[in-house]
A and B are shown apart, each in its own frame.
Chain A
Amino acid sequence: MKQEEKNFEQGQFTLTMIPGSFARKMRTCILWQAFRFAVINIKMLVVVSKSH
């Protein structure tokens, strides 16, 4: 059974979503996360500047 399928055996989790192996890998892929780091920081700076 795939890891993302396993937890759907639990009734409470049936109606939610669980990331598959690619999505999980991208969470800690250094190159991709370095790009996301830049994007998230820009988004946060925009919200911070709107709030001050």
Chain B
Amino acid sequence: MARLIVMGGGVSGHTTATFAKKWLGKDHEVVVVTPNSQWNWIPSNIWVGVGQMTKEEVVFPLAPVYEKAGIDYRQAKAVSIHPDGKEGDDTPYITIEYTSSDKAGQTEEVTYDYLVNATGPKLNFDATPGLGNGEGQMGSHTVSVCTADHATHANEELQKIFDKAKAGEKQKILVGTGHGMCTCQGAAFEYIFNIEHEAKKAGVRDMIEIKWISNESFLGDFGMGGLHMKVGGYVVSSKLFAESLFAERDVPWLIGAHVNKVENGKAHYELLDGTMGVEEFDFAMLIPPFAGVGLKAYAKDGSDMTDKIIAPNGFMKVDADYTPKPYEEWKASDWPRTYQNPDYPNMFAAGIAFAPPHLISKPMQSVNGTPINPTPPRTGMPAGIIGKAVAYTICDMIKDPNAKPHEASMAEMGAACVASAGKGLTTGTAAAMTVYPVVPDFEKYPGTGRDTDYTFGEIGLAGHWIKHILHHMFIWKAKLKPAWTLIPE
């Protein structure tokens, strides 16, 4: 009997674990180690953040789902990996620390035959002084929509702003990225336009100045270097597409910005041209930069070998080309295909947890040498597809250790993205987009890097309906309800 441990129960880890268990059946063990007791459909957190959904609508408890699936669920955080075992025992294992109330703080060693790191991001608020509280958590000057709890708090603060606006006090809202190396601009994009939509509904839009701040060198970069998509028959740059929406909704932007300090009501920033500035705000949602969760790795003799399998950013090395090279030499083939660690073929990293070979966007730095560029997004559809491919590979390897791994390169897969611009059954809108491939391949598609026959965008109520349906569909799928496997990632 083989044991697969999946560290992380998010989109990628949950996909890996549930498919692996379905295919392996009772013959082999699947263990999920995650510090969370609940699964969160993160794309809907922005709606919680404006009071259009409750926390209960975007989360559900994991334990009953895993029990139904026959998955061994341990509510714990993974602390270290020991891929060569220990003195006297070659069996690889991980160490975990329980976070459940009944076992909080208890540690345990869990052996494995196959290991998947799907731990997702550490929300690195402390990378920007004042954005965090100095202890690894969000500070008190800004809000976040990265988790359901954060989003609930964000809405509470937002409603106070609306109340002040209704009372006749002008308010200033700032939304965007809280560091020069952030990703997830899409979530901030959705949040700013949902705030704008709700402000209009509340009748206070004219009392609220709403402004965007981000590390993108142009609006519409989204961490993907922007894209060219078919819009109404034209091939349009995402820059024009995004700027149009910002202009339409009267939301000015400040881009190429590295927020380097946050104080009460102030965000200090540096621009690409070296200018230093301050944006004042009454309410701010600034996405934190991501890092790996801080896993350590140890050799058989107990020596620290973290550098061997974990990149400096904390994400796990996989079968990518990590050779440092200039932007002009980046290739689609630099990106991983199997997500196996090159030194330990029974170890994989899926979703956000794998270390990308480099950015997708063009690297930029200010005249002072400060890096100001979005890092690559690896969420949603790609995360799920990668998780499923890794599950496939492991199931094949359990039957035949020399089985050929399945491939899921982000340079050969597309993504369907729906960015909400306001919720409402008949009044909502969203930008529905497809991009193919996610990582541009300028050798295959000279000019735009992507296939414009399969890369398109459109704003409208239909997009909103799609996003709302996807909310229900993916929660249905994650709960392993009937026909869940028929819903594609």
Contacts and interface: CB of A to CB of B under 8 A. Distances in A.
Interface stretch (B149-157, B169-177, B282-290, B429-437): B429-437
B458 A36 contact: yes
B416 A28 contact: no
Contacts of A37: 462, 465-466
A30 to B, nearest CB: 7
Given A28-B426, A51-B381, A7 B240 contact: no
A34 to B, nearest CB: 7
A44 B240 contact: no
Nearest to A41: B466
Given A28-B461, A30-B461, A18 B247 contact: yes
A33 B243 CA distance: 23
A52 to B, nearest CB: 6
A16 B240 contact: yes
Given A12-B253, A28-B429, A40-B458, A52 B466 contact: no
A46 B247 contact: no
Given A40-B466, A51-B414, A52-B385, A18 B248 contact: yes
Interface string A13-37: 1011111000000111110011011
B456 interface: yes
B63 interface: no
A52 B488 contact: yes
B459 A27 contact: yes
A40 to B, nearest CB: 5
Interface string B423-461: 000110100101010000000000000000010101111
A4 B489 CA distance: 38
Interface in B200-259: 240, 243-244, 246-248, 250, 252-253
Contacts of B436: 47, 50-51
B24 interface: no
Nearest to A44: B416
A12 B458 CA distance: 23
Most buried by B among A17, A30, A43: A43
Given A7-B247, A16-B240, A48-B381, A28 B427 contact: yes
B413 interface: yes
B241 to A, nearest CB: 9
B16 to A, nearest CB: 15
A17 B231 CA distance: 13
B377 interface: no
B414 A40 contact: no
Nearest to B434: A47
B244 A18 contact: yes
B432 to A, nearest CB: 5
A33 B461 contact: yes
B444 to A, nearest CB: 13
B83 interface: no
Interface in B405-419: 412-416
Contacts of A7: 247-248, 250
A6 B250 CA distance: 9
Given A12-B253, A28-B426, A28-B460, A47 B465 contact: no
Contacts of B456: 43
Nearest to A30: B426
B51 interface: no
A19 B429 CA distance: 14
B427 A10 contact: no
Contacts of A47: 414-416, 434, 436, 454
Given A7-B250, A18-B248, A28-B426, A50 B454 contact: yes
Contact of B461 (A4, A18, A27, A48): A27
A31 to B, nearest CB: 11
Interface in B362-390: 381, 385
Nearest to A45: B488
Contacts of B416: 44, 47-48
Given A28-B460, A36-B460, A50-B414, A16 B247 contact: yes
Nearest to B382: A51
Nearest to B232: A23
13 contacts: A4-B248, A7-B248, A16-B243, A16-B244, A40-B466, A41-B466, A47-B434, A50-B413, A50-B414, A50-B436, A50-B454, A52-B385, A52-B489
Given A27-B460, A40-B463, 12 more contacts: A12-B247, A13-B243, A15-B243, A16-B247, A28-B461, A33-B465, A37-B465, A40-B462, A44-B416, A47-B416, A47-B436, A51-B415
